[in-house]
């Protein structure tokens, strides 16, 4: 069996759609992901490798974008993605042998494609998480639980024409470094490219969501084939593939969204259902009765076009379809079973999260 797949324009589109769905309301803009993917594919014959191609001691770096998806001044160029990996190697004097994304999402599933193509570093199918999540710690494979682990992180982004361009390298406590990067994204206008935490492949094998990108591609394939018939058929294909369910369809009667400390926070109401989000959808209730809880996957779609709708895109008065599936039906990294990280969600959305995951 081949230990890689050759990526092309068709697989890019499947990855974008499947990644957006697995983003669960977050994971970045599909338009940003498409631009990045096309740049990478135009540059070289890009491959997605199984992690088995690396030795256990080879170092893998995680790449991502950090910020608030709805921020109006967000700005990242391809050079920002490249610069972060170069800064990481330069400042740590370490050779990066593989690149992984932090999560799935419209932009996030494509994280690493440009870096891999231009820097000739293997793109590895082992995202830190197989769905999107709000915090950097949730995409750090529980590295903060390793005694005396020192985090290395680099960042770059922001529009230089309005004085927002910022880049840098930070090392230290992984949680403090993640907060520093979040603040950097605010100064950059809402978004920065990031490379972080070189760690050996053995650790990644034990903590990442292995084959999470292939999962997104397969899901995107199912959705796209269904959409050729109708949006309704596409939704059926999704819930069948994910062993989930269509919760409801209806008009967004109420919507609250605010950008706080670099995150999008709010809630959506559709009929008797309420969805809360912290970048990604966190809870789904029916008249106060909990149906699904992060890291369960909750996602919204435009009813008429079938387009997956993120929390940054959803509009009051929009006619949407809501789907959901249990966390056991998606690929998750080790942090999604960390109750300390799940407890952080409760403080933001003021909803019980941990008890629904015990």
Tens digit of pLDDT at every position of the chain (358 positions): 479 999 999 999 999 999 999 999 999 889 989 999 999 999 999 999 999 999 999 999 999 988 766 677 888 899 999 999 999 999 999 999 999 999 999 999 999 999 999 999 999 999 999 999 998 889 899 998 999 999 999 999 999 999 999 999 999 999 899 889 989 999 999 889 999 999 999 999 999 999 999 999 999 999 999 999 999 999 999 999 999 999 999 999 999 998 877 788 999 999 999 999 999 999 999 999 999 999 999 999 999 999 999 999 999 999 999 999 999 999 999 999 999 999 999 999 999 999 999 8
How big is the chain, counted in residues?
A: 358
Query: Is the omega angle on the peptide bond into residue 295 within 30 degrees of 0, that is, cis?
Result: yes
pLDDT at 72: 79
The values of phi and psi at residue 88, to 5°, are: -65, -45
CB 247 within 8 Å of CB 264: no
Residue 151's beta-bridge partner residues?
172
SS3 category, 39: helix
Burial of 260 (0-12, 13-18, 19+ CB in 10 A): exposed
Beta 47-49 vs 123-124: how paired, if at all?
parallel
pLDDT at 254: 95
Residue 324's beta-bridge partner residues?
245, 298
Residues 6+ apart with CB under 8 A from 282: 276, 293, 294, 298, 345, 349, 351, 353
pLDDT at 136: 81
Minimal CA–CA distance to 7: which of 117, 157, 96? 117
Rounded-to-integer distance, Cα 107 and Cα 19, Å: 8
Minimal CA–CA distance to 332: which of 313, 300, 357, 304? 357
pLDDT at 73: 86
SS3 category, 204: helix
Give this prediction's pTM: 0.93
28: left (phi over 0), alpha (psi -120 to 50) or beta: left
pLDDT at 69: 65
pLDDT at 1: 44
SS3 category, 213: helix
Burial of 283 (0-12, 13-18, 19+ CB in 10 A): buried
Based on C-alpha coordinates, what's the Rg of the chain? 19
């Amino acid at each position: 069996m081949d230990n890689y797949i050759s990526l092309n324009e068709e697989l890019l589109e499947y990855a974008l759609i499947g990644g957006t769905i697995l983003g669960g309301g977050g994971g970045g803009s599909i338009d940003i992901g498409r631009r990045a993917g096309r740049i990478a594919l135009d540059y070289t014959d890009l491959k997605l490798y199984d992690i088995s191609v690396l030795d256990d001691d080879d170092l893998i770096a995680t790449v991502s974008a950090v910020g608030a998806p709805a921020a109006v001044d967000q700005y990242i160029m391809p050079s920002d993605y490249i610069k972060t990996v170069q800064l990481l190697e330069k400042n740590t004097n370490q050779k990066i042998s593989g690149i992984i994304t932090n999560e799935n999402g419209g932009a996030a599933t494509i994280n690493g494609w440009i870096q891999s193509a231009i820097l000739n570093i293997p793109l590895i199918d082992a995202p830190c998480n197989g769905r999107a999540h709000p915090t950097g710690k949730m995409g750090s494979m529980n590295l903060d639980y390793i005694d005396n682990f020192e985090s290395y992180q680099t960042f770059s982004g922001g529009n230089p024409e309005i004085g927002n361009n910022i880049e840098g390298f930070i090392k230290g406590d992984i949680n403090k470094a993640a907060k520093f990067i979040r603040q950097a994204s605010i100064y950059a206008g809402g978004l920065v490219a990031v490379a972080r935490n070189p760690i050996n492949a053995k650790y990644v094998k034990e903590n990442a969501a292995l084959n999470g990108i292939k999962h997104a591609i397969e899901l995107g394939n199912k959705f796209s084939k269904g959409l050729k018939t109708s949006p309704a058929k596409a939704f059926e294909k999704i819930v069948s593939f994910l062993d989930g369910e269509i919760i409801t369809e209806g008009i967004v009667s109420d919507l609250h969204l605010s950008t706080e400390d670099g995150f999008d926070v709010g809630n959506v109401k559709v009929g008797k259902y309420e969805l809360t989000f912290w970048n990604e959808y966190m809870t789904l209730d029916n008249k106060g009765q909990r149906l699904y809880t992060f890291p369960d996957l909750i996602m919204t779609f435009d009813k008429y076009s079938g387009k997956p709708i993120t929390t940054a895109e959803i509009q009051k008065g929009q006619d949407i379809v809501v789907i959901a599936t249990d966390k056991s039906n998606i690929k998750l990294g080790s942090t999604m079973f960390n109750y300390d990280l799940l407890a952080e969600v409760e403080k933001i959305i003021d909803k019980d999260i941990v008890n629904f995951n015990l």
